[in-house]
Amino acid sequence: MSKYKTLHIKESISLLKVYLLEAEKTQPIQALIDFKTSQSDNIRQFAQFSDYSYSTLYKWFRRYRQQGIREFIKINPLESTIGETLINRDGEVIFYQEIFNDKQSEYLLNILQNEIAWRQDYIKMMGQTLPLPRLTAWYGDSDKSYTYSGINMNPLAWTDTLLYIKERAETLAGTKFNSVLLNFYRDGRDSVAWHSDDEPELGKNPVIASVSFGSTRKFSLKHKQEEDIINLELTSGSLLIMRGATQHHWLHQLPKTNHNISARINLTFRNII
């Protein structure tokens, strides 16, 4: 067991899930997903219901570190991914229904739930301090801090999982991103109100790439000067790109819902200038 003590066990379990997903082994993935702690007992528990020894597991971990996440999760060529233009005046909004398939999306949702350092932020409204109706996290390059609604966020270091998702979003958006805001909507009561991503540090015409995993949620866009409202369903594995003058002319929101729905995680990749 000594060499396992040199591993970050929590990370290692995540890496093992990646391998099993690609290799399509018969071991129960849910048992891995259910691991909640970083104790070495989790490794022993896995070994009890698998045919693989500690030494083989260790080789898998080493193989992952050498080759990287994109060698384990195979995805369809981007050439087959077609986007739908939702807005082409006063900005541009393009929606990609599926950039990750169901299996990939389920895996990434569970990794993000456990890997990300989620935080509960608070805002002041009408003399009261209230919790945001969602959990958040900010990751990115070391010098890319972000402030919105009076909340200051200093970046945490990129994870391999975030870099993998970022790379795919960058390819379709046609730009590079240096940061990402993550929102964890735990159920239908969590939401985000009407707003624009127009903070000064985002620049004049920011490109925002929004990737969703988990339960489908209604997303709305509303023109600031007119009554136009566009509603769409953000499905798991989808990508929404907003660019050009969109943030100057349009608001967007993710409203609350009375439906009994489970968790959703959204990643909005952006550039801090």
**Is 0.85 surpassed by the pTM of this model?**
no
Q: Where are the domains of the chain?
A: 2-71, 78-270
Interval 226-255 mean pLDDT: 96
Q: How far apart are CA 105 and CA 99, in angstroms?
A: 9
Q: How far apart are CA 272 and CA 80, in angstroms?
A: 30
For 241, counting Cβ atoms within 10 Å of its Cβ (0-12 exposed, 13-18 middle, 19+ buried), the class is buried
Tens of pLDDT, residue by residue over 20-44, are 554 444 443 443 443 333 334 444 4
Q: How far apart are CA 28 and CA 51, in angstroms?
A: 12
Judged against a pLDDT cut of 60, whether residue 9 lies above it is answered with no
Task: Provide the β-strand partners of residue 181.
Answer: 138, 268
Band (46; pLDDT cuts 50, 70, 90)? very low
Band (63; pLDDT cuts 50, 70, 90)? low
Specify the DSSP class assigned to residue 86: E
Identify the pLDDT of residue 68. 45
Q: 75 with 203: CB under 8 angstroms?
A: no
Q: Quick one: fold of 78-270?
A: Jelly Rolls (2.60.120)
